[in-house]
Structure 1
Amino acid sequence: MSLRHAILVLLQDQEASGYDLAREFANSIGLVWNATHQQIYLELGKLSEQDMVRYRHVPQEGKPDKKLYSLTDAGRAELVRWLKKPAGPARIRDAFMVKVAGGALADTQVLLSELDTLAKQRRERLATFEALAQRLDESGRDENVYNYLTVRRGILDQRAWLQWAEEVRHSLEHRSADSTAS
C-alpha cells in the first residue's frame, strides 16, 4: 500500500482539503496508515500532476484560498485497480518490540517505564476507537460497514497489545524480583 492509495480511498466519496485529509489520517485511516501533513500535501501534488485528483479553489475571508480535492476518473480507475490486487503481508516496525527482544541488556525499570507510557497511549487510542465505533453504530453500522470493520480491527489490535503488555509486565517484574532475591 502506498500513501497515494490511502488518499484516494479518503477521496472516493467526497472532496476534501489537505487539512481535512490530515485530520482523517489522525482520526480514522491513521488506524492503518500514518502520514504527516507534509507527506499528504506532497502526495496530493503528485496525484494532481498525474491527473488522479483535481482541485477547486474555495475563497476564504482573511486566509488563502482553500483547495478542495476530488477524484478524477483516472484516480478512481487507479483505486479500483489497486483494490483488485492482493495485499501483501503487513510490515511491522515496532521499536519497543526490538527493545524487549534485546531486553537482556536493558534496565528492567526503564523498560517497564516505557511500557507504562506506551500502554497509556494504547488505552487512549482504544478509547478513541471505541467511541468512533459507537458513533458508527448509532449512525447505522450497515451504511458505514467498511469504516466500522476497520475501526473494529483497531480496537482488537489495541486490546491485544494491552494484553501482551500485561504479560511483559508480569515477566519483567518476576525477573526483577528473582534477580534481587539472588
Structure 2
Amino acid sequence: MSLRHAILVLLQDEEASGYDLAREFANSIGLVWNATHQQIYLELGKLNEQNMVHYRHVPQDGKPDKKLYRITDEGRQELVRWLRRPAAPARVRDAFMVKVAGAALADPETLLGELDQLVQQRKERLANFEAEARKLERQSEGNSRFQHLTLRRGILDQEAWLAWAEEVREVLEDTLSHQH
C-alpha cells in the first residue's frame, strides 16, 4: 500500500484539507498506515500534479487560505485499479517484540518500565478507536460500515496486544523475583 492510496480512500466521499487528512490518519486510518503531516502534504502535492486530486481555496479570517482537496475521476480510477490488485502480506516491525525475544540478556525492570509506557499508549489508542467506532455505529450507510470494520480490526489488535503484554509482565515479574 502506498500513502497515495490511503489519501485517495479518505477523499473518496468528501473533500478535506491536509489538516483534516492528518487528523484522520491519527484517529482512524493510522491504525493501518502511519504518515506525518509533512508526508501527507508532500503526497497531496504529487497527487495534484498528477491530476488525481484538485483543490479549492477557502478564505479564512486572520489565517492563510485553506486548501480543500477532492478526488478527481483520474484519482478514482487509480483507486479502483489499486483496490482490484491483491494486497501484499502485512509486515510486522515491532522493536519491543525484538526486545522481549532478547529479554534473557536484558534488565527486567527496564523492560517492565518500557512495557508500562507501551501499555498506556495502547490503552489510549484503544480508547480512541472505540470512540471513533461508536461515532460510526450511529451511521449505517455507505463507507461508514467499512470504516467501522477497519476500526474493529484496530480494536481487536489493541486488545490482543494488551493481553500479550500481561503475559510478558508475568514472565518479567517472575524473572525479577528469581533474581532477588
Q: TM-score range by the shorter chain?
A: over 0.9
Q: CA deviation at 1:130?
A: 1.4
Measured on the aligned residues, the alpha-carbon RMSD in Å equals: 1.3
Q: CA deviation at 1:139?
A: 3.0
Q: CA deviation at 1:179?
A: 2.6
Q: CA deviation at 1:138?
A: 2.5
Q: CA deviation at 1:142?
A: 7.0
Structure 1 stretch displaced more, 129-138 or 30-39 = 129-138
5 Å-filtered alignment, 1:4-153, equals: 4-140=4-140, 144-153=144-153
Q: CA deviation at 1:102?
A: 1.6
Q: CA deviation at 1:40?
A: 0.2
Q: TM-score, normalised by structure 2?
A: 0.95
Q: Deviation digits for residues 46-102 of structure 1, max 9, x if unmatched?
A: 111111111111111211111111111110000000000111111111111111112
**Cα distance between partner residues in 2 of 1:78 and 1:23:** 24
**Cα distance between partner residues in 2 of 1:41 and 1:86:** 27
**Cα distance between partner residues in 2 of 1:136 and 1:15:** 18
Is 1:169 the counterpart of 2:176? The answer is: no
Q: Deviation digits for residues 104-145 of structure 1, max 9, x if unmatched?
A: 221100000100110011111111111222222233377621
Q: Give 5+ residue unaligned stretches, structure 1.
A: none
Identity of aligned residues (%): 72
**Cα distance between partner residues in 1 of 2:15 and 2:111:** 44
Q: Give the residue type in structure 2 aligned to 1:122.
A: R
Identify if the C-alpha distance between structure 1 residues 3 and 138 changes in structure 2 by more than 3 Å, giving closer, same or farther.
same
Q: Deviation digits for residues 5-35 of structure 1, max 9, x if unmatched?
A: 0000000001111111111111111111110
**Cα distance between partner residues in 2 of 1:60 and 1:137:** 33
Equivalenced residue count is 180
Q: TM-score, normalised by structure 1?
A: 0.94
Which aligned segments of 4 or more residues in structure 1 are displaced greater than 4 angstroms? none
**Cα distance between partner residues in 2 of 1:142 and 1:59:** 31
Q: Identify the structure with bigger relative contact order (alpha carbons < 8 Å, sequence gap 6+).
A: 2
Other structure's SS at 1:139 match? coil
Structure 1 stretch displaced more, 35-44 or 170-179 = 170-179
Q: Give 5+ residue unaligned stretches, structure 2.
A: none
